[in-house]
Every structure is written in structure tokens, then in C-alpha cells.
């Protein structure tokens, strides 16, 4: 078997390498051999949420997998043919649904298949995009790049018990190469959801955040929703969308500090094309487009740098990074892989 070896300890050495490598393996039909998985993390190797993504994508692609065990630092993944399926899955506890969707959606859509998925797990958990970020920010960006999916939130699931549930539908897609260059809108949407936390506390937090945004001349539309969950918790999403930009920031409510763990200045000072987290999520899709995708970011994170390296190694796409006065411009020249029908 002709495996492409990927060093899972490269750069930031986290879960993004796993997700990107498996996604691209399925789309390009390239068997991969991941080594040193999550080498730079406190707890090395595969974690339950990685195994959940691998298990589900294995069903969708009829893949052969060697080394898919908790704590494994080595994985061999041999993709098969992608199928249209109707699935019901349970991640267990608060494993991140959003991170799993980052693998499933591109594979199914770009492979010209369809997926209907009911999945249980964590919708709003640490070190992961909230389900609202996936719904309102990632979905908008993917839509402009030709990837169409719809998401129905059935129940919130906070750490540690999870118990959230969503319904996902993915359509077959035709990729487009686009540009995200500069934010020109001052209109902002703020969505806050909570469960088993004082509504007065939540309202005060939202009011304080809104005041900071208003002071910087943003026009803010707020929405506060009490959505019952197994655990107490709350999450907040702030985002702006215009013709040339999609910028979002999300955070969870910290029960110790009784505050949202939110760096609002990060959103206020970002006037370029996309936020740093979204940049990570668009690299795989951009690498497979027909033309050049251009996006501008405030900074080049270790995550983004690592993802660009791994993606270029698997697809052969070319990329460049240029310094701007207010950030960086990333150009990715897609390869329009010949295995994609």
C-alpha cells in the first residue's frame, strides 16, 4: 500500500492535522499514515472525539482503518468510495459535534454525495467552535464556496454531560474560489443561549458586551435564548457578514468567573476578511477549488500555518502569505483534484 506519511506532531501538533488529513484522504482517495498524533499535547494520541469522526467517516467512505484506539499515536487510513447515507450517531458525553462536522461536510459535499445525520454529543464545549458558530459563520462561508448544508439544533449539550442533538443535511456541491478581504459593515449580530443560569446574570453580561461594541460604532442586534440542556451552561456568538468579509467570535460562560471567556477586542480590531478560526476551516476546501482563494486575516496562527503545510502536502496545492499593514493575505491556488467528479 502506497501511504502518504503525515507527521501529526508538525507545528501545533493537534487535532486539526487529523481532521484535515482524513478529510483530504477521503476526497483525493489517498491512503495516509499519520504518525506522532497530537505529540505536542498534554495528553497525546487520539481522543474520543477523533475516534467518533473516524468511525462515522469510515461508514461513509467504506474505509479501512488501522490504529483507531484511544491514545493511539499512529493511524493508517485507507479510504474507499464515498456513499450517500442516512445515519444516527452518538458521540457520547460532550464530544464536540462541530469538530466532527468539519470532517463530514466537506467529504460528502465535495464528493458529490448527500448525508442525513442525527448526532448526539456536545454542541457548546471548550476548545471547539460552538454549534452557533457552525450554523451562522461556517455555513455562510461554505455556502459562498459552493458547499451547501443545513443544520437543525434539537437540544443544547454543554460540558461535561453533553446530551446535545442536531440534525444535519449535506448536499452535493460544486466548489467555487472566492475572496474575503475587508470588513465594511458595522452591523453585528449577537446571539446568547443559556441553560440553568440566572437570566439576570446573562442579560447583564450581554448588556456589557453590547455597550463595548456600540462604543466602537457597531450597530448590534441581540438575541437571548433560554434553551434547556442537561448541564448548566451558556454560550455567546458575535458575528458580522458583508459581501467581502465573514468575522465571528464565540465563547462559553465561565462558571468560576461568572463571565463569558471572550476577548471582545479581537472582534472589534479585526477589520480584514475573516477571523482566525474560520481561516483554519477554509484551507481544505480552498485547496481543492478551480482557481485562487484569497483571504485576509489579522495574524497567521500556528494552527493556520500547520494546516496550510499539511493540506499542501496532501493535495499539492500552492499557497503564499503576504504581509499587509493591518494583517496578512493568504492566497491558496486550488488543484481541482481529478478524482472529484
236 lies in the same domain as 287 = no
Residues 199 and 228 in one domain: yes
Put the strands of the sheet holding 219-226 in their side by side order: 219-226, 187-195, 233-242, 245-254, 259-260
**Consecutive H or E run containing 239:** strand 233-242
CATH code assigned at 245? 3.30.360.20
Segment 119-129 shows an average pLDDT of 95
Domain count, the chain: 3
Say whether both 61 and 26 belong to one domain: yes
Domain with residue 44: its CATH number is: 3.30.110
Asked which of 225, 245, 268 is the last residue of a domain, the reply is 268
Last residue of some domain: 82, 104, 132? 82
pTM metric for this prediction: 0.95
Q: How far apart are CA 287 and CA 28, in angstroms?
A: 11
pLDDT tens digits, one per residue of 42-82: 788 888 888 999 999 999 999 999 999 999 999 999 999 99
Residue 294, in any domain of the structure: yes
Q: 248 by DSSP, 3-state: which?
A: strand
285, 261: one domain: no
Task: Return d(Cα 121, Cα 58) in angstroms, integer.
Answer: 19
The rounded distance, in Å, linking the Cα atoms of 280 and 324 is 19
Sheet containing 75-78, strands listed edge to edge, beginning at the edge strand earlier in sequence: 4-7, 32-35, 75-78, 64-66
Whether residues 5 and 66 share a domain: the answer is yes
Please classify residue 213 by burial: count the beta carbons closer than 10 Å to its beta carbon, then call 0-12 exposed, 13-18 middle and 19+ buried. buried
Q: What is the mean pLDDT of the chain?
A: 93
Q: For the segment 281-333, what is each residue's pLDDT rounded down to a tens digit?
A: 999 999 999 899 999 999 999 889 989 999 999 999 999 999 999 999 999 99
Q: Give the Cα separation of 64 and 76 in Å (integer).
A: 8
Does 279 fall in a domain?
yes
Whether the CB-CB separation of 156 and 233 falls below 8 Å is answered with: yes
pLDDT in tens, 189-232: 999 999 999 999 999 999 999 999 999 999 999 999 999 999 99
C-alpha cell at 225: 435564548
| Sheet of strand 292-297: strand arrangement | 179-180, 292-297, 327-333, 318-324
Examine the domain organization and report whether 246 and 279 are in the same domain.
no
Name the pairing type of β-strands 219-226 and 75-78: unpaired
299 and 238 assigned to the same domain: no
Query: How is residue 256 written as a grid cell?
Result: 468560576
Judge whether residue 337 has pLDDT over 60.
no
Same domain, 297 and 248: no
Are the beta carbons of 99 and 80 closer than 8 angstroms? no
For residue 42, the enclosing domain spans 1-82
Q: Which of 270, 275, 260 is nearest to 210 (CA)?
A: 260
Cα-flanking dihedrals φ and ψ of residue 103, to 5°?
-90, -50
- How confident is residue 94, by pLDDT bands cut at 50, 70 and 90? confident
Which of 243, 268, 293 terminates a domain? The answer is 268
What's the CA gap between 84 and 129, in Å, rounded?
A: 26
Sequence-distant (≥ 6) Cβ neighbours of residue 69 within 8 angstroms: 46, 51
Please state, in angstroms and rounded to a whole number, the distance separating the CA atoms of residues 112 and 174.
Answer: 8
* pLDDT band, very low/low/confident/very high, at 40 (cuts 50, 70, 90): confident
Task: Find the radius of gyration of the CA atoms of the chain.
Answer: 19
3: Cα separation from own chain's centroid: 26
Task: Report, as residue numbers or ranges, the catalytic residues.
Answer: 303
CB under 8 Å to 230, separation ≥6 — which residues?
Answer: 157, 158, 161, 162, 163
SS3 164: strand
Residue at 195 is within a domain? yes
Assess whether 262 and 286 both reside in one domain. Answer: no
Question: Which residue, 34, 32, 117, is CA-closest to 79?
Answer: 32
Parallel/antiparallel/unpaired status of strands 115-121 and 327-333: unpaired
Closest CA to 112 of 88, 81, 138: 81
Retrieve residue 336's grid coordinates: 481541482
Percent helix, strand, coil in the chain (nearest 5)? Answer: 30, 35, 35
Same domain (yes/no): 196, 250: yes
Is 27 in the same domain as 71?
Answer: yes
Q: Which pLDDT score is estimated for 282? A: 96
Amino acid at each position: 500500500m502506497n501511504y502518504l506519511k503525515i507527521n501529526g506532531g508538525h507545528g501545533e501538533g493537534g487535532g486539526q492535522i487529523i481532521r484535515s488529513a482524513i478529510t483530504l484522504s477521503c476526497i483525493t482517495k489517498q491512503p495516509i499514515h499519520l504518525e506522532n498524533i497530537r505529540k505536542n499535547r498534554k495528553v497525546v494520541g487520539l481522543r474520543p472525539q477523533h475516534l467518533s469522526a473516524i468511525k462515522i467517516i469510515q461508514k461513509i467512505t467504506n474505509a479501512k482503518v488501522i490504529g483507531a484506539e484511544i491514545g493511539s499515536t499512529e493511524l493508517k487510513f485507507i479510504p474507499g468510495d464515498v456513499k450517500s447515507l442516512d445515519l444516527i450517531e452518538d458521540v457520547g458525553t460532550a464530544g464536540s459535534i462541530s469538530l466532527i462536522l468539519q470532517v463530514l461536510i466537506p467529504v460528502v459535499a465535495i464528493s458529490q454525495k448527500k448525508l442525513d445525520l442525527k448526532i448526539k454529543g456536545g454542541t457548546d464545549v471548550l476548545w471547539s467552535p460552538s454549534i452557533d458558530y457552525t450554523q451562522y459563520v461556517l455555513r455562510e462561508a461554505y455556502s459562498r464556496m459552493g458547499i451547501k448544508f443545513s443544520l437543525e439544533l434539537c437540544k443544547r449539550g454543554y460540558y461535561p454531560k453533553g446530551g446535545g442533538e442536531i440534525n444535519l443535511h449535506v448536499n452535493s456541491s460544486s466548489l467555487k474560489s472566492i475572496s474575503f478581504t475587508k470588513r465594511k459593515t458595522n452591523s453585528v449580530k449577537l446571539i446568547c443561549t443559556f441553560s440553568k443560569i440566572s437570566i439576570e446574570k446573562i442579560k447583564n453580561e450581554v448588556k456589557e458586551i453590547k455597550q463595548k461594541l456600540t462604543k466602537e460604532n457597531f450597530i448590534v442586534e441581540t438575541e437571548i435564548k433560554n434553551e434547556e440542556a442537561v448541564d448548566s451552561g451558556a454560550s455567546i456568538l458575535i458575528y458580522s457578514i458583508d459581501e467581502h468579509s465573514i468575522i465571528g467570535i464565540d465563547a462559553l460562560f465561565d462558571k468560576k468567573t461568572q463571565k463569558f471567556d471572550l476577548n471582545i477586542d479581537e472582534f472589534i480590531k479585526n477589520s480584514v476578511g475573516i477571523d482566525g478560526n474560520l481561516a483554519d476551516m477554509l484551507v481544505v476546501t480552498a485547496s481543492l477549488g478551480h482557481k485562487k482563494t484569497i483571504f485576509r486575516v489579522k495574524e497567521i496562527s500556528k494552527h493556520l500555518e500547520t494546516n496550510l503545510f499539511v493540506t499542501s502536502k496532501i493535495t499539492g496545492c500552492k499557497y503564499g502569505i503576504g504581509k499587509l499593514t493591518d494583517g496578512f493575505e493568504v492566497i491558496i491556488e486550488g488543484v481541482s483534484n481529478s478524482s472529484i467528479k
